[in-house]
Amino acid sequence: MNEDLLYRPCVRVSIYIDGEKVSHGSGTLVKGAGGFFVVTAYHCVFGDNDQYAELNLESIVVQQQKTFNSTFNQISVTEVTGKNKIQDWALLKVSYDEGEESFPTILAGCSFGKDMPVHFTGFQERNKDEARPFNSRVLNGISNDEFRITLSGQDAFKGGTDDAKGLSGSGAFITDKGKLYLIGILKSVKGDDALNNDIKCCPLTDMIASIGLESYEISTETFGDDWASEKFGAINITDPRDLTEKLRAVNNTISDLRINRYCRDLALGKSELSNNILDRDLSAIKYRIFEACQKELVEFIDNTEQTQMTNDDIKELLASFTKKSIEIIEIKSKTHKYPIIDSDLMEKIVLDLINECYLSFDEAGIYE
């Protein structure tokens, strides 16, 4: 699932009084049967103590960036369709022109399981002009009109509440089989919850009918490899050499032409991966490949007495790494869901791991 698809529904929700901004939060733009709506947190619109409850619609300013760092476009609020202070949600009817590019189809996810990967994007208070994506997972299922998610992978609220401020109203999405499911919105993140990277969310239960969405159960048979993603982020790098240095270490006569070819393949792979695979999925894949190829490298070192390699030796070891990578992802696909990766791109992931200091052609690349 492309991150741009998750970016488009994200909007900034602000309250202005006499031209002064007094409240900042996030929201989620959704296309329903009756038009477009913005789902956000109640306190983002009406205030923590209802101090903005009597303001007119013109005080509610909703803005969207269609792509990262682009100009903000204002979206007019035409009606407050629904609200619930206790559950902390508000539903705004808006006037929105999706233009020539069709707005992504968003489905309502009403049934989801623990540890399912969740993505959300919002405008932090500390950086109000740039939406930031986060990776998380379901911590607890729906109970008493709320559920919890927790940040995963390398994401964390390092500053506690300060980092979390402004993210209320962000949509919590699950992606499954190429589809985008909205399972709820983020509520206020404060105190120990923020320090623990835990976030309370409000499910869509009472908003689905008003928006005009159909509810779907999300498959729980196979899903993202969140555990591997977290493990990859925890690896302590002990071999700081890049791809070029590692090639020259085992072949001091290798030509610049051949090195440039490997570096070009590496760059092409990085570009393709960044445009087609989410960071969470890629880090999980890299961890599985890293562990499998570590075993392959140990076998290679044990069975090789020479310290220098020929060009053919390097090609054969890369081919062996690639084969082992394909095999481990096929095995793990029985219990986890990964993007489809062909053998050519798999080899480029191997090159990326070598360049990022995780794999090599010699004993220095073996991790304890």
The SS3 call for residue 280 is: helix
Residues 259 and 211 reside in one and the same domain? no
Tokens describing residue 218: 């999300």
User: What is the reported pLDDT for 254?
Assistant: 95
By residue range, what is the domain housing residue 114?
3-217
Tokens describing residue 186: 């983020």
Q: Which helix (H) or strand (E) holds 291?
A: helix 279-302
Domain boundary among 217, 244, 276: 217
Rounded to 10°, the helix 311-332/343-355 angle is 110
Residues 329 and 208 reside in one and the same domain? no
Tokens describing residue 313: 């030796």
User: What is the reported pLDDT for 1?
Assistant: 46
State CA 238 to chain mean position distance. 27
Give the N- to C-terminal CA distance of the chain in Å, as an integer.
34
User: What is the reported pLDDT for 276?
Assistant: 74
Residues 276 and 344 reside in one and the same domain? yes
- pLDDT (tens place) for every residue of the chain, 368 residues total: 456 678 889 999 999 999 999 999 999 999 998 899 999 999 999 999 999 999 999 999 999 988 777 889 999 999 999 999 999 999 999 999 887 677 888 999 887 877 788 999 999 988 888 888 888 888 888 887 899 998 876 676 765 566 778 899 999 999 876 688 999 999 876 545 555 678 899 999 899 999 998 888 775 545 678 788 889 988 988 889 999 999 999 999 999 999 999 999 999 999 888 877 877 789 999 999 999 999 999 999 998 888 899 999 999 999 999 999 999 999 998 878 888 899 999 999 999 999 998 999 999 888 87
Domain boundary among 217, 245, 279: 217
Residues 111 and 134 reside in one and the same domain? yes
Helices (H), 102-223: 161-164, 191-195, 208-211
Provide the Cα torsion 340, 345, 348, 353; round to 10°.
0
- What would you report as the CA-atom Rg of the chain, rounded to the nearest whole angstrom? 24
Domain total in the chain: 2
Q: Which residue has the tokens 């803005």?
A: 63
Residues 117 and 180 reside in one and the same domain? yes
User: What is the reported pLDDT for 162?
Assistant: 67
Tokens describing residue 234: 């925890």
Amino acid in the structure at residue 329: I
User: What is the reported pLDDT for 219?
Assistant: 59
d(CA 339, CA 224): 9
Residues 101 and 52 reside in one and the same domain? yes
Q: Of the candidates 75, 162, 166, 67, which has an alpha carbon nearest to the alpha carbon of residue 123?
A: 166
Return the ∠ at Cα 33 (arms to 27 and 34), rounded to 5°. 75
Domain boundary among 217, 243, 264: 217
State CA 204 to chain mean position distance. 21
Length of the chain, in residues: 368
Residues 212 and 238 reside in one and the same domain? no
Residues 201 and 232 reside in one and the same domain? no
Strands (E), the chain: 10-17, 20-32, 35-40, 60-64, 73-84, 89-95, 106-111, 117-122, 132-143, 146-151, 171-176, 179-186, 198-203, 215-217
Q: Which residue has the tokens 């009597």?
A: 54
Tokens describing residue 75: 């979206």
User: What is the reported pLDDT for 91?
Assistant: 97
Q: Is the separation of the CB atoms in 350 and 321 below 8 Å?
A: yes
Residues 271 and 333 reside in one and the same domain? yes
Task: Dump the DSSP string for 48-93.
Answer: TTSTTTT--GGGEEEEE-SSTT---EEEEEEEEEEEETTTTEEEEE
Q: Of the candidates 118, 109, 94, which has an alpha carbon nearest to the alpha carbon of residue 29?
A: 94
User: What is the reported pLDDT for 343?
Assistant: 93
Sign of CA dihedral 203, 40, 56, 73: negative
Tokens describing residue 200: 């309370």
Residues 143 and 11 reside in one and the same domain? yes
Residues 211 and 234 reside in one and the same domain? no
Residues 149 and 255 reside in one and the same domain? no
Sign of CA dihedral 127, 130, 131, 132: negative
The enclosing domain of 128 has a CATH number of: 2.40.10.120
Provide the Cα torsion 109, 85, 27, 123; round to 10°.
-120
